[in-house]
Structure 1
Amino acid sequence: MTVEVKYVVVRNGEEKMTFANKKEADAYDKMLDLADSLGEWLQQAPVTLEEEQREGLSLFLAEHKDVLSQILRGAAPQETVKKPVKSKTDKTAPTPEEDAESGEQAA
């Protein structure tokens, strides 16, 4: 027989998520607290959001708080700065040889 310890995050009587360790459960609970605070703040926004939209937006913002804090500090968020690196085989315009092969003329 094995004994497993599970940490369950419960909100308003509803089980939200189960974790194997306390640190992850606490982090998730803290993120939900932030989402609740953001949801209350978004109610004061000059735009009208349905409750489901507001909850979804507040949860998204809470889940991405690190990127949001970078944006609010005026720094470019690291997640969106990364651009795909073009390899030497990627070409943006056909070479004259490719134009000749395809029968197209350069404009």
Structure 2
Amino acid sequence: MAVVAVWKCDRDGKMFDDKKAAEAHDKMLELAANITELIETSVKGISEEHSEAIGMLLAGKSDVLARACKGKPELLLEETSEDSVTPLVANQ
């Protein structure tokens, strides 16, 4: 019987065959959680579900967002296959 190493993300339970991919996913979730907290403390009256969805969206597009902030704002409007996000609470 073979032994297969897998990495599990503590935040959402997602499994990975590659440690690098697992660490990247965990960093993205940490960024999403911090963005969510920033939104919730900055925008009064926003629901937890909406702030988490925004946090996941921005964290998932952090590379594009960084390039947009450096002078390419049109990149934010280009379509991607990952426009739909799942809030963190649903995965816990």
TM over 0.5: yes
Alignment correspondent of 2:6: 6
Q: Which has the higher contact order (CA 8 A, sep 6+)?
A: 2
The TM-score normalised by the length of structure 1 is: 0.64
Q: Match for residue 35 of structure 1?
A: 32
Tell me if structure 1 keeps the 8 A contact 2:68–2:76. Answer: no
Deviation at 1:67? 1.5
- Percent identity over the alignment? 30
Please identify runs of 4+ aligned residues in structure 1 that moved more than 3 A: 77-82
Aligned-residue RMSD, C-alpha: 2.0
Structure 1 stretches of 5 or more lacking a match?
A: 83-107
1:52–1:7 Cα change, 3 Å: same
SS of structure 1 residue aligned to 2:9 = strand
For the residue of structure 2 that corresponds to 1:48, the secondary structure is coil
The structure where strand makes up a greater share of residues is: 1
Q: Which 5+ residue runs of structure 2 have no aligned equivalent? A: 80-92
- Give me the whole-angstrom Cα distance separating, in 2, the residues matched to 1:40 and 1:6: 30
- TM-score, normalised relative to structure 2: 0.73
